[in-house]
Amino acid sequence: MTANNPSKKTPDDAYAVGYGKPPKANQFQPGQSGNPHGRPKGRPSLDEVLLEEIARTVKFKVGDQVVKIDKERALIRGLVDLALKGDVKAARLVLDLRARAQATLEATADPETPLTEEELEVLKIMAKKTGN
């Protein structure tokens, strides 16, 4: 090399540029993060998107009137209407959904139902332990 051309291999401070070692001019400045805006927020899951979309309202024609109802109720109405028109698959699905809904509602405890003898005995034992 000539005296007029400086060496391109090593700068004056003898810093080796290579894999994982960028040139000093391209390195992050002190106090500056490598990702100043942070990791982007993730996309909502499919379940979240579905629940959000099904909660939106839609105009639905009931007889001569147009009413606003949520999409979930509109789907159920449409499904019941299909079943009434003779669609066997829709009828089977409606009956299955009805059975499941009835079982769920029956499984919830009724606060007005009187306590059984066993439940009364348990309450007596608990009252003795707490001193009441």
DSSP string covering 8-73, please? Answer: SSS-TT-PPPBTTB--GGGSPPTT--SSTT-SPPPPPPHHHHHHHHHTSEEEEEETTEEEEEEHHH
Give pTM, 2 decimals: 0.48
Query: Would you state the pLDDT for residue 123?
Result: 85
Average of per-residue pLDDT values in the chain:
82
Could you tell me the CA-to-CA distances from 77 to 11, 26, 66, 83, 112 in Å, in that order?
76, 63, 14, 10, 32
Lowest mean pLDDT among 21-25, 97-101, 110-114: 110-114
Query: Would you state the pLDDT for residue 88?
Result: 94
pLDDT in tens, 116-132: 888 888 888 888 877 76
Tell me whether residue 16 is in a domain: no
Query: Would you state the pLDDT for residue 13?
Result: 60
Tell me whether residue 51 is in a domain: yes
Tell me whether residue 15 is in a domain: no
The number of folded domains in the chain is 1
pLDDT in tens, 56-111: 999 988 789 998 999 999 899 999 999 999 999 999 999 999 999 988 887 776 67
Tell me whether residue 120 is in a domain: no
Tell me whether residue 62 is in a domain: yes
Residue 55 near residue 72 (C-beta atoms within 8 A) = yes
